[in-house]
Structure 1
Amino acid sequence: MAKRYEELTIEDDLMFGKPIRLDVYTKDQKRIYDAEMQKRNHHSLEKLELPKRSRFYQSTMDTDHLSRGRSYRELPEGKVLFICTFDPFGLGYGKYSFQNLCVEDRELCLEDGTEKIFYNCVSDAKDIPENLRELYEYIRTGKVGRDLTRRIDEAVARARKNEVWRSEYVKELLHDDDVREEGRAEGRAEGRAEGIAEGEAHGEVKGTIRICKDFGLTFEETVNRIREMFQLPENEAQRDMKLYW
């Protein structure tokens, strides 16, 4: 059954069948959607490389469709959506929508069926629709409003109580290259006396512990995670847990 755009929620998550982690990957009768939550995490906009990320996610969606033995002629429309907790282009718009247009004639659209949309959750633009404004506030503050954010909040609560889903999601998340790079950056920023490489390693461990804790893993579950991921002896894993838990 086709879903309206505003009905797409975390419950439609199909990421475990994908070659990379897509936050929400779903489809209706005509389109495929990939929606990504994006935070700055102290990175510059240039470091985030959002345009290249959007290209990568679009290519991943297309490859998944074609890998099922279908012709490129059957490619559905693809929409890559970035839900940003910052203004991704600094112009104040509530959202930024991109399609492929002819450079010589801006009225001529390639009509290849792709679109990238970047939602600016911190925008105070006057033309933001009320339901989108409500979603932005929910993302910024966690405040539940009317039907849309209530349903999203209920879906998030159910997902967090699902131990199998939570464990699998954390496993996928911890192998995400962006997450690991964030941890290395934290270590570099701390300027550890033992050197840059050691600082990066500690940063990765610290970031991993933070993610596990955020997703409700127990102390012992987290010890096992970092011991397996970083090949640490038990005493070092316990030491890092005491430092960063």
Structure 2
Amino acid sequence: MVTIDRRAKYIAQLEEKWQSLTIKDDTMFGMVMENQDICLELLQRVLPELNIQSIRRLETQKEASGPLSARTVRFDVFVRDQQQRTFVIEMQVANRHNLPYRLRYYQHQIDFDILNVGDSYQKLAEYPTYVIMFCDFDYFQRGQVEYCFENRSVKDDGLSLHDGRKIIVFNAKATDFHDNIKVEGFLKLMNNQVDQRDELVKRIDHEMRRIKEDPRRRHGFMKYELDLMDARADGKAEGLKQGKVEGLKQGKAKGLKQGKEEGISATIQALRNINAHRDQIIEQLIQIYELTPERAQAYYDKYTVK
């Protein structure tokens, strides 16, 4: 149970957190990208060769609709342009050391949104896909601003698979932007550096200020975070309750272990009940129960109802 004093203190902390949100935070990034003009210009800077003219579809926190038994994915930003090209834009702050596999799965999930039962594989030719990852770290440790990948022959560099898939990974820790000056300002903004010479950066900075002054946005953020706190508290309380009962029956050590298991299960279900997505739940498990990312993922898979 969350006491009144603790809740009041947490609300004060949330106020501070709301005001300190930056473009690196998923919440703020998604809200800024809801501005189609800003999202369009960012895409135009990332992929100038595509001559993207307009956005036909834009969703933030879009849940990919794969098979029921598949792992759920939510894309930070999902965009489709006037030529049916699909763009997934992600903000990645923590290095989980699994980026290539995450990207592989993302590409797979995007196709579920395109290909329906009975469709020919040829339909995919009309829907090129691009995954753009803005990372607050240099995953590949090469010092490059941009890492670009597509499927090519390992024996003949000039032979492309032409499967319509492309992955771009940006490194916000890079320092040499001579070939990527169009995204320099945005990457520096990820490090809280506002380049007043960059019109896009100025618009994003203004949009973030506008969002923080919007009472509706603030209320939505506060409510969601408070719901998370209540779900965490409910999960831990259930776990302690179950642990005490089990402890009386089978001994303290086993009871504590059982209590932890029950607590983790209850926490996962409570967070799912408020529609928290997978990565958020895993992050909460890591913080509450001091788990490694691998153990938290294993518990999520174990206690998630398929």
Aligned counterpart for 2:175 among listed residues 114, 124, 127: 124
| Distance in 2 of aligned mates of 1:165 and 1:136 | 27
1:103 Cα shift? Answer: 1.6
Q: Using structure 1 for the length normalisation, give the TM-score.
A: 0.62
Q: Which has the higher contact order (CA 8 A, sep 6+)?
A: 2
Equivalent position SS for 2:133: strand
Aligned to 2:99: 50
Whether 2:115 is the aligned partner of 1:61: answer no
Give the residue type in structure 1 aligned to 2:86.
I
Aligned to 1:22: 75
| Distance in 2 of aligned mates of 1:18 and 1:165 | 23
| Distance in 2 of aligned mates of 1:13 and 1:144 | 28
Whether 2:44 is the aligned partner of 1:6: answer yes
Aligned to 1:96: 147
Q: In 1, are the aligned partners of 2:130 and 2:167 still within 8 Å (CA)?
A: yes
Equivalent position SS for 1:65: coil
Give the residue type in structure 1 aligned to 2:113.
D
Identical counterparts, % of pairs: 25
Q: In 1, are the aligned partners of 2:145 and 2:180 still within 8 Å (CA)?
A: no
Aligned to 2:285: 184
| Distance in 1 of aligned mates of 2:207 and 2:136 | 20
List per-residue Cα deviations over 1:147-170 (Å, max 9, x = no partner).
212233344455553448758987
1:174 Cα shift? Answer: 6.7
Whether 2:158 is the aligned partner of 1:107: answer yes
Q: Which residues of structure 1 form unaligned runs of 5+?
A: 192-196, 201-245
Sort the Cα spacing of 1:188 and 1:166 in 2 relative to 1 into closer, same or farther, 3 A. Answer: closer
Aligned to 2:89: 35
* Equivalent pairs, count: 188
Larger Cα Rg: Structure 1 or Structure 2? 2
| Distance in 1 of aligned mates of 2:123 and 2:150 | 19
Q: Which residues of structure 2 form unaligned runs of 5+?
A: 1-35, 47-54, 66-72, 229-271, 297-306
Sort the Cα spacing of 1:82 and 1:190 in 2 relative to 1 into closer, same or farther, 3 A. Answer: closer
Give the residue type in structure 2 aligned to 1:37.
M
| Distance in 2 of aligned mates of 1:107 and 1:15 | 37
| Distance in 1 of aligned mates of 2:284 and 2:290 | 10
Sort the Cα spacing of 1:101 and 1:94 in 2 relative to 1 into closer, same or farther, 3 A. Answer: same
List per-residue Cα deviations over 1:201-233 (Å, max 9, x = no partner).
xxxxxxxxxxxxxxxxxxxxxxxxxxxxxxxxx
Aligned to 2:13: none
1:178 Cα shift? Answer: 2.4
Sort the Cα spacing of 1:168 and 1:16 in 2 relative to 1 into closer, same or farther, 3 A. Answer: farther
Runs of 4 or more off by more than 6 Å in structure 1?
Answer: 167-174
Whether 2:85 is the aligned partner of 1:85: answer no
Q: Using structure 2 for the length normalisation, give the TM-score.
A: 0.51
Aligned counterpart for 1:149 among listed residues 201, 209, 217: 201
Aligned to 1:139: 190
| Distance in 2 of aligned mates of 1:158 and 1:17 | 27
Sort the Cα spacing of 1:126 and 1:155 in 2 relative to 1 into closer, same or farther, 3 A. Answer: closer
